[in-house]
Amino acid sequence: MSFDVDIHGNVGATEIRCRIEPVDGLTVLFGPSGAGKTSVLNMIAGLIDPGAGHIRVAGRTLFDESWDPWDFNSMPPERRRAGYVFQDSRLFPHMKVVANLRYAAPDRPLDLAPIAFLGIDHLLDRWPRSLSGGEARRVAIGRALLSDPAFLLLDEPLSSLDAPRREEITRAIEHLRDVVRLPILMVTHDAAEAERLGTRIVAMGD
């Protein structure tokens, strides 16, 4: 259950090169702003075409340049089963927390397990605008988990949080890494975060 990525492409004027060797656990993309870390997440999610190389996650090929491009060499985003937690959480402001969570799986009963371990059960009747940064981030992680993902993509999940909230989210990520055991690819520019959470650290940029 791991990432196997070797891609080369361009996003605007930025050349993106990234190689991730297969390893179980949590892989960290580490480097300065502008190095293309978020672009790699978007390529794995299917939101950007890598151009060249391959992307395989948990044994499933999501992109391979050797596939016939006329028959599509990239799996559509909606079939990739990526649980993507964006840096700004992106909760729907017109929906209460419970509706945001149900949006991930509208045809299934609400799974209480991730809601319990993330500690957001008391937030279900709240509006996103009333949440703290840490609470909103935990709800975003819960929504991603309720979509039944094959893997998680976390873009700077600890940024802009005070120390207590950072510790809350860090422990939630450690639970996902060690107990739920989902393949996780996380972006950060913080060395301490990378050292604490990463099973493997992939450096990008200078």
Decide: 152 and 183 in contact? Cβ < 8 Å. yes
Q: What is the C-alpha to C-alpha distance for residues 158 and 193, in angstroms, rounded to an integer?
A: 8
Exposed e or buried b per residue across 108-125, where buried means at least 16 C-beta atoms within 10 angstroms of its C-beta: eeeeeebbebbebeebbe
Position 9 scores a pLDDT of 85
Digit-by-digit pLDDT tens for the chain (206 residues) are: 689 999 998 887 778 899 998 888 999 999 888 889 999 999 999 999 888 999 999 889 999 988 665 556 688 999 999 999 998 889 999 999 999 999 998 888 888 999 998 999 999 999 999 999 999 999 999 999 999 999 999 999 998 888 998 999 999 999 999 999 999 999 999 999 999 999 999 998 76
C-alpha–C-alpha distance, residues 139 and 124, integer Å: 9
CA-based nearest residue to 63, from 51, 52, 73 = 73
Domain boundaries, the chain: 22-45+81-199
Residue 149, both tokens: 């993902």
**Could you please report the per-residue DSSP string of 82-137?**
EEEE-TT----TTS-HHHHHHTT-TTSPPPHHHHHHTT-GGGTTS-GGGS-HHHHH
**Cα separation, 165 vs 49, whole angstroms:** 35
User: What is the pTM (predicted TM-score) of this model?
Assistant: 0.92
Domain 22-45+81-199 matching CATH 3.40.50.300: the answer reads yes
> How many alpha carbons lie under 13 Å from residue 127 in its C-beta half-sphere?
4
Beta bridge partners of 84: 153
